[in-house]
Amino acid sequence: MRKVSLLLIIVSSAIFSACNKDAEVLDLPAINDYYPLEVGKYVTYSLDSTVFINFGTKDTVINYQVKHQIDGQLTDNLGRPAYRVTRYIRKTAANAWVPDNTFMAVPTDFAMEFIENNMRFVKLKGPIRDGFIWKGNSYIDTYSLNSNVKYLDNWEYTYENVNMPETVGTFNLDSTLLVNQRDEIIGNPNDVNSYSEINFGAEKYAKGIGLVYRNFSHVEYQPPTPGRSGYRIGYGVKMTMIDHN
């Protein structure tokens, strides 16, 4: 009898634990909470673009305003429902918007894919919870001989500060999350006589809005050779939300 009672206690505990886990999964945010897709929705950003001039010996930051606007529904090359995102750009608020690129957002059952310049990024993936890791660049060709984006290889995206308040620009946002994409230093950037490389990526999303902040940089330093000074190649992009609907 005591053995039967003990067995019932163990089984009941296991069922209770499983129910708690199911409840925990059900309580997790949905992906479209942080990446809503609706035709007509837009987010405007202040964009700081870092480029290298004077044959890579000097960097400079150029400021723009860009607007990402969902302007239509379509299907991707796999036949899946998708949304077309048009990027508009202008120098200042006094200038007219000019379209300069289109992207594609593809919602799936467990992820949000974003296709930019023929590269498919997995921007968000379920379950949305702190510490969850996924290969956000796994669909990108980083391994073929002629690939010019090898620096994107094996990036592990990680959620942090899920469902936390955050101030982004002038906005106080109630619920945000951070996606850490990469924070990598190869070599010693302080040594002017040796090769070095810096790769960094992080994005913040807000519930009901979408992407509100992006910081990305890829910089390679080539040391001096006879007849040529050391130089840098690469680029950096920092986007901060300044308006949305």
- C-alpha distances out from residue 19 to 6, 13, 92, Å: 20, 10, 54
Tens of pLDDT, residues 135-154: 999 999 999 999 999 999 99
CA gap 27, 21 in Å, rounded: 10
Closest-CA residue to 75 (of 105, 38, 96, 95): 105
What number of H helices and E strands is found in the chain? Answer: 2, 12
**Residue 6 pLDDT exceeds 90:** no
Window from 18-22, 73-77, 168-172 with minimum mean pLDDT = 18-22
Is the pLDDT reported for residue 239 higher than 70?
yes
Q: Which pLDDT band, with edges at 50, 70 and 90, does 7 fall under?
A: very low
Q: Please say whether the beta carbons of 228 and 239 come within 8 A.
A: no
pLDDT digits (tens, 9 = 90+) for 152-198: 999 999 999 999 999 999 999 999 999 999 999 999 999 999 999 99
Residue 78's alpha-carbon distances to 5, 106, 115, in angstroms, are 55, 10, 13
- For residues 13 and 126, the model is more confident at 126
**What does the DSSP 8-state code read for residue 110?**
S
Which pair of tokens denotes residue 63? Answer: 């400021």
**Is the backbone peptide bond immediately before 127 cis, with ω within 30 degrees of 0?**
yes
